[in-house]
Each structure stands twice: as C-alpha cells, then as structure tokens.
Amino acid sequence: MPLVTVIEEMAKDARQACGQLRILSSAQKDAALELMAARLLEKQEDIIRENNKDLSQAKKAGLSAAMINRLTLDEKTIRGMAEGLREVAALTDPVGEVTGMWKRPNGLLVGRVRIPLGVIGFIYESRPNVTVDAAGLCLKSGNSVILKGGSEAIHSNLILTDLLVEAIKETGLPAKAIQIISTTDREAVNILIGLDDHLDVIIPRGGESLIRFVTSNSQVPVLKHYKGVCHVYVDKFADLEIAQEVCFDAKVQNPGVCNAMETMLIHESISGDFLPAMLKRFRNAGVEIRGCPKTLGLISGIKPAVEADWPAEFLDLILTVKIVSNIEEALDHIERYSSNHTEAIITNDYNRSQRFLAEVDSSVVLINASTRFNDGNQLGLGAEIGISTSKLHAFGPMGLEELTTTKFVVYGQGQIRA
C-alpha cells in the first residue's frame, strides 16, 4: 500500500475513534492510563532491548554523547514515564467542564462545554519518553493521536506505543486512539501535515528547522513555538540579592532550555553595584558574557555583543548583557528582540512592576521570579505538551485544557428566530 494511503487510513481510523473517546468517563480514561503505566514497568526488559537497537545505531552514526544520553531508556527513565502517566491520570479531566452558562431573554439556556479537539498529529524528535507523555495527555483529553517520532528513536517509540495500545485495548478503549507512523521515511511528515480533512491540529516539537518546516507547509492548523529569547530586566529599584539569585538561576540552572535567560538588562543607576559581582559569579560558572558598550566600559575583559547576538537563542552558557538608561529602554529592547516567550522584571517598585506586566507581550511575564518557571508543571497546569509562542488557541505552556476546545449547547422549549 502506498505510504499516503497508509497514513490516510490511520487518520480515518483516528477520526473514527473520536466518537468513542469524546464520551468516555474520566474513570475509564484514568484506568487506561494506570494500566499503561503498569505495562511499561512490567515490560522494562523488552523496552530496554529495543532501545539498545536505537542506541547501537546512534553510536554507529556518531551521534553526540548528549544526543545518546537523551535517547537512552533505563530503569529510571522508564519509571519516570510510568509516573508521568499516573500524574496525568491524577489531573482533573478538562472534558465536560461547563465553562459558562446563561439564560437568554427568549428563555434559551446557552452553555459552553469543553470537548476534545479531535485528532492530533504529533511530530517530534529524539527523546522516546515524549511518545509516552504525548500519548497520555492526548488520551486524558479525549483526543486521538497520530505520533511521528524521530528515526533515531524508532525501535523505542514502536515498542512503547505497542505497550500503550495493548493497555488501552485491554481497558476497552478504542485501539486507534493512539497510533504511530512506523516508517522513518521523512515523506510521512509531508503526508501527515496535508491531511486537513482528517486532522484537527498538528503539534511539532523539536528543533526550530523542523517546526518552521511544519508551520510553512502544513494544511492543518499548527500549535508551536520557535524559540525562547528570554530577558530579565534588573530595575533601578531591584532587591539586588534577589536579582543575583534569579538571574543566576535563569541562566545557569539549565541553560539548554527555551525558558533560560539569554539577555540580562540592567538599569544604569544600579549597574555599578550589581554587575561586577554578578558577572564574576557568571564567569565562575563558565558563562560567556557578551556586553553592550556601556557594560564593556564598566567591566574589563568582556567580549562585545554584536547585533546578531540580541535576537539569538543560545541554549548555552552564553549571556548578552545590556545597560539601559531607563525602563522605557528595557521595554523597547524586549519589544524588539524578544520571542514573546518569557520575560521577568526584578523590582520593588509597584508601578514599574505593574507597567512591565501590562506592556510586555510575552506568554509568561514575571515579577521577581526566574524565567525558568515558564513550564506547565511549575505554573500548576500539570504536564505540558509544549509551549506556544503564537497567540492563536494557546499562548504559553499547553496542558490538558489546551488540548480541548468548547462547543455551545443550547436548551430550548421550541424557540424560533422568526
């Protein structure tokens, strides 16, 4: 059968499963999630065996140690996946929530009810645990999912999906709720993103080039984020101890992630008190500093930042530093260079904190806290399927609720328009 037919059939099966999925009780879905977790733990050896096939191919292909590390499944990571499924089971089911209900003058009772999106195409790279996370979140929110993982993790992804599907079948749920594209042919992505008659949304997760490719070519609506160029602005009225701790955490605690700080903006009037100790601490931690001319004038031995540095997502121990004359200059810099992901202000001034919250157009805006909190778990949404930096449908971390929409239900007694 040609690949296009295979994938189209998968999509039709996924749509078919929606009818059953959208009326499942939370208890039924949670039972499936619990069984999915149990299966992963029971079948650890099989998982590790299949994962080893991916690992030996990765080593032959000369993948970096970091990549191989992300690909590796062991007892601990498998336990983590199982716990993740149980955490999703413990989250509140968004489906069926009545988000509002009101009576119209003609007596119609109108409500909005949360429903699943339908069929989700999930395209991702590298880490096989994402297979389990995505499948769990889609199932709990009543959606069918078609998974398309990276070729480097294909054996791991296939066995994980097999185990999950076995569990959902055993619980009496539709087997086609979770499907995976088993070919590593990249053409599969092209086919999947063209199925706008069968899919409701595509969620790509991975490098910027994958996401840009999917966004440019998809006929199905896409939920995505490209990158996080996150700023912390240390204001004139900052508590400098808090500023030190927050900036250090935002840059160093995990520099390879999208919510790490890439640029630190400092109000001129406190730069002399704040920067020398802060930059020393950064440099001791191995952070390369790239400074604006004023920073270079204040502290010696710093590399000058070039224009291309300001909009860059380094995902590394590199930090651009800029001294600004006032909060307006900080806000202008953010408006120009931020990726609308996460920005923070450190200040004890009430009006400046409120102004920053109101004017900064990013998915998460913080006062006196680290940018690293832009994360579904940290913000209290539970597990997340991604972070959206475009505004349609979702802006910021996407949890279960973001995998749903609402429909209107209307209770009448014979009302007509005429």
Near a copy of itself in 143-162, by CB under 8 A: none
In this structure, the number of other CB atoms found within 10 A of the CB of residue 19 comes to 9
State which of residues 49, 53, 104, 186 lies at the interface with a copy of itself (CB under 8 A): 104
Residues with Cβ within 8 Å of 162's Cβ and at least 6 positions away in sequence, in order, are none
Token representation of residue 115: 């429903």
Of 218, 181, 197, 172, give the one whose Cα is nearest residue 10.
181
Candidates 133-141, 149-157, 167-175, 239-247 — which segment interacts with a copy of itself by CB under 8 A? 239-247
Of 325 and 415, which CB lies nearer to a copy of itself in the complex structure?
Answer: 415
Is 197 near a copy of itself (CB under 8 A)?
no
Residues 6+ apart with CB under 8 A from 74: 48
Residue 60 as a binder of a copy of itself (CB under 8 A): the answer is: no
Helix (H) or strand (E) holding 202: strand 201-205
From 36, 366, 383, 385, residue interacting with a copy of itself (rule: CB under 8 A): 366
Measured CA to CA, the distance from residue 223 to residue 388 in angstroms comes to 6
| By CB under 8 A, residue 312 contacts a copy of itself | no
Kindly tell me which of 115 and 383 has the beta carbon lying closer to a copy of itself: 115
Binding region for a copy of itself (CB under 8 A) out of 59-67, 275-283, 284-292, 361-369: 361-369
Give the separation between CA 343 and CA 340, rounded to whole angstroms: 8
Q: Is 405 in the site for a copy of itself (CB under 8 A)?
A: yes
Q: Which is nearer to a copy of itself, 118 or 291 (CB)?
A: 118
Shortest Cβ 333–a copy of itself spacing (Å)? 13
Output 165 or 334, the one with its CB closest to a copy of itself.
Answer: 334
Q: Does 369 bind a copy of itself (CB under 8 A)?
A: yes
DSSP-derived letter for residue 305 is: P
Considering only residues 242 to 281 of the shown chain, the ones binding a copy of itself according to CB under 8 A are 242, 245-246, 248-250, 253-254
Q: DSSP label at 220?
A: S
With beta carbons less than 8 A apart as the criterion, state whether 228 and 315 touch.
no
**Residue 221 in the binding site for a copy of itself (CB under 8 A):** yes
3-state secondary structure of 92: coil
Nearer to a copy of itself, 81 or 201 (CB): 201
Report the distance separating Cα 209 and Cα 198, nearest Å. Answer: 25
